[in-house]
Structure 1
Amino acid sequence: MKARTAEEPVDVRVRRRLRELRTRQGLTLQQVAARASIDESTLSRLEAGRRRLALDHIPALAGALGVSADELLGSAPPPDPRVRARPRRRWGLTMWPLTRRGAAGGLQAYKIVIDADRDTPPKELPVHEGHDWLYVLSGRMRLLLGERDMVIEPGEAVEFTTWTPHWFGAVDGPVELIGIFGPQGERVHLHS
């Protein structure tokens, strides 16, 4: 996404704000057009930049969106950068999301704590589409990857295709790590 600069033309900024405010409020073009007493096709062309924005459009559109004309003309406040999702617990793993949905091209980062009692792998190791990346912060992690049985120490990272049968657990106490999963790995680790 291209960075927005202070030099952004007013008409471009208003069109962007129109679309942002309308979609954030869950309003359709038809609803906003009706509230502003303008044609739906006119509103569509205004948002798309195919019709020139006139000053007399501003008060009606601002009123339709429940904002002041200054808010419509101004920049959107920057979003809160903090990620505030609740941890999820499953199969001896507690996972705190570190990224928002849709961020990083579909990749999701998590802080993960592996319970000390997650020390016995299942009879059949899972296989799924995707790629996993794990970085151990503390504790010792056991990683089964195909026929390999490894102990991953703090400060070590592993990266592998999840088409290889795999499982990770604790060796002799809880393990804290950072994990990055693609959409398929996230589904398996959190929702299966």
Structure 2
Amino acid sequence: MSTSTPTLGTLLRRLRDREGLTLKQMSAKSGIPVSTLSKVEHDRLTLTYDKLYQLSQRLGMRMSDLFAEPSETVPKVTARRSLGDIDQAVRVETPNYDYYYLCTELRRKRMVPVITKIRAKSVEQFGELAHHAGEEYVYVLKGKIIVATEFYDPVTLSEGQSIYIDSNMGHAYLTADGCDEAEVLGVMSSADEELMQSLLNLHKDQQQTSERGRATKAISAAAA
């Protein structure tokens, strides 16, 4: 039995075939160059969060649909697997964080693995505390972080230390004093099949918060 799983490029090609679009037509519809779409379909390039969001909006679909094959009955034993390669990860880049989502081609995952590079130094810089369904585990790979949560005092974690929390509780991950950037491995778990979409929506909110913060600073500087 084959255990291979489709890549983002394979899913994109199947989506284009399902819609009856040529590469040129999909490029015109999505606003993404033909050369970029071709490289993605041949697994030589991935798309950033901004491009994925642009593609989903132009095609009138949810971003989570870009990571899923058409719905089908899943047997109790799937024997499926996916190798996590950071070069093939779906990247989400923001001023305060870089997210690398792994194994995104698997549908109906109960766990979402992600490597995150953290640069936010305060809750004010982070913005509103994050809330989403399920639970999550974070392990510090490099640097030192502060974990701020809704119901507990902030806790500092160094390399090799980890934390497990209820994701419904407001939370934020920040760099500790003396650390400009930290890197962590996180695993989010939930029975909610829309977990991936919820996480992507959080990134959109973070980007908007960062943009408002930069605009406020610019206005203050101009008024000074």
Give the TM-score taking structure 1 as reference length: 0.51
Residue identity over aligned pairs, in percent, reads 14
- 1:139 is aligned to 143
Structure 2: where are the runs of 5+ without partners?
Answer: 4-12, 20-80, 190-194, 206-224
Larger radius of gyration: 1
Tell me how far apart the structure 2 counterparts of residues 145 and 114 of structure 1 sit (CA, whole Å): 16
Residue 45 (structure 1) aligns with = none
**Could you tell me how far apart the structure 2 residues matched to 1:85 and 1:191 are?**
18
Q: Distance in 1 between matches of 2:199 and 2:118?
A: 16
For 1:90 and 1:151, how far apart are their aligned partners in 2?
A: 23
The verdict on how the C-alpha distance between 1:181 and 1:89 changes in structure 2, with shifts beyond 3 A counting, is: same
Question: Partners of 1:80 and 1:176 in 2: how far apart?
Answer: 22
CA distance in 2 between partners of 1:187 and 1:126 (Å): 12
How much has 1:153 moved relative to structure 2? 1.1
Say what the alpha-carbon RMSD is for the aligned residues: 3.3
Residues 108 and 186 of structure 1 are in contact (CA less than 8 Å); yes or no, is this contact kept in structure 2?
A: no
Indicate conservation of the 8 Å contact 2:140/2:183, yes or no.
yes
For 2:188 and 2:138, locate their aligned partners in 1 and report how far apart those are by CA, in whole Å. Answer: 9
Pairwise CA distance, 1:134:
0.8
Q: Which residue of 2 aligns with 1:119?
A: 121
Q: Would you identify which runs of 4 or more consecutive aligned residues in structure 1 move more than 6 Å?
A: none
Q: For residues 123 and 175 of structure 2, what CA distance do their matches in structure 1 show?
A: 10
Helix, strand or coil at the partner of 2:121 = coil
- Encode CA deviations 1:11-49: one digit per residue, 9 max, x unaligned: xxxxxxxxxxxx959469xxxxxxxxxxxxxxxxxxxxx
Residue 184 of structure 2 is aligned to residue 177 of structure 1: yes
Give the C-alpha shift of residue 170 in structure 1: 0.3
- Equivalent position of 2:113 in the other structure: 109
The 8 Å contact of residues 101 and 108 in structure 1, kept in 2 or not, is answered as no
Structure (1/2) with the larger helix percentage: 2
Alignment of 1:94-105 (within 5 A): 94-102=98-106, 105=109
Counterparts of 1:80 and 1:129 in 2: how far apart (Å)?
A: 23
Distance 2:203 2:135 in 1: 15
Aligned equivalents of 1:152 and 1:188: distance in 2? 27
TM-score normalized with structure 2 length: 0.45
- 8 Å contact 2:92–2:203 — kept in the other structure? yes
- 1 CA distance for matches of 2:111 and 2:2? 25
